């Protein structure tokens, strides 16, 4: 019986060894206007045998706060990004490692798609369960607060978005 309990505990631990926190959908807020800017899907992917976190833009808002573009109808081009991809569908976060001790993601990258610039990144949740996303160069940087969205908050066409097989397209 003891061996059975140890086996079950080991299986349970190994099943959760690859699960990463904070996956889901988030609304980004424009630093200047304080209005919604985009919806980003944070998703898990495997790099060798290690689980990593990445983030892809799946929708854009206009200046009135209405969603104008989604994965089904991307329009605007990120002309400062290598290859001039569309904003919607663009991976802006990648290679994030979970730091269990500090309960945050570190060692990854975040891109400012308007500038095409890539920065080091740290991601954590604050005491209000808001996602905090920081892009930085050394000790200097900028932190944004992203709002958690449930699937029902998404436009109907995005409610069945399946990120299981996504892998980031990295544009350094």
Domain ranges for the chain, please list them. Answer: 19-151
Query: What is the pLDDT, as a whole number, of residue 19?
Result: 58
* Cα separation, 97 vs 145, whole angstroms: 19
Q: What integer pLDDT is reported at residue 10 of this predicted model?
A: 40
Contacts with 119 (C-beta within 8 Å, 6 or more apart), sequence order: 109, 110, 111, 112, 135, 136, 137, 141
Mean pLDDT of the chain: 88
The first and second tokens of residue 103, run together, are 């309960």
Contacts of 29 (CB under 8 A, 6+ apart): 35, 36, 37, 144, 145, 146, 147
Instruction: Look at residue 3 in the predicted model and tell me its pLDDT.
Output: 43
Ranges of the chain whose pLDDT falls below 50: 1-18
> What CATH architecture is 19-151?
Beta Barrel (2.40)
């Amino acid at each position: 019986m003891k061996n059975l309990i140890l086996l079950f505990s080991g299986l349970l631990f190994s099943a959760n060894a690859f699960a990463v926190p904070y996956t889901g959908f988030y609304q980004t807020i424009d630093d200047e206007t304080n209005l919604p800017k985009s919806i980003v899907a944070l998703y898990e992917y495997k790099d060798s045998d290690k689980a990593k976190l990445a983030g892809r833009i799946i929708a854009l808002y206009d200046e009135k706060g209405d969603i104008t573009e989604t994965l089904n109808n991307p329009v605007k081009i990120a002309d400062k990004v290598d290859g001039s991809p569309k904003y919607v569908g663009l991976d802006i976060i990648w290679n994030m490692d979970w730091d269990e001790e500090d309960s945050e993601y570190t060692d990854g990258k975040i891109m400012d798609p308007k500038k095409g610039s890539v920065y080091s990144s740290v991601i954590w949740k604050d005491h209000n369960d808001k996602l905090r996303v920081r892009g930085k160069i050394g000790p200097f940087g900028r932190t944004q607060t992203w709002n958690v969205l449930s699937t029902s908050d998404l436009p109907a066409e995005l409610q069945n978005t399946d990120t299981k097989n996504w892998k980031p397209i990295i544009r350094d």
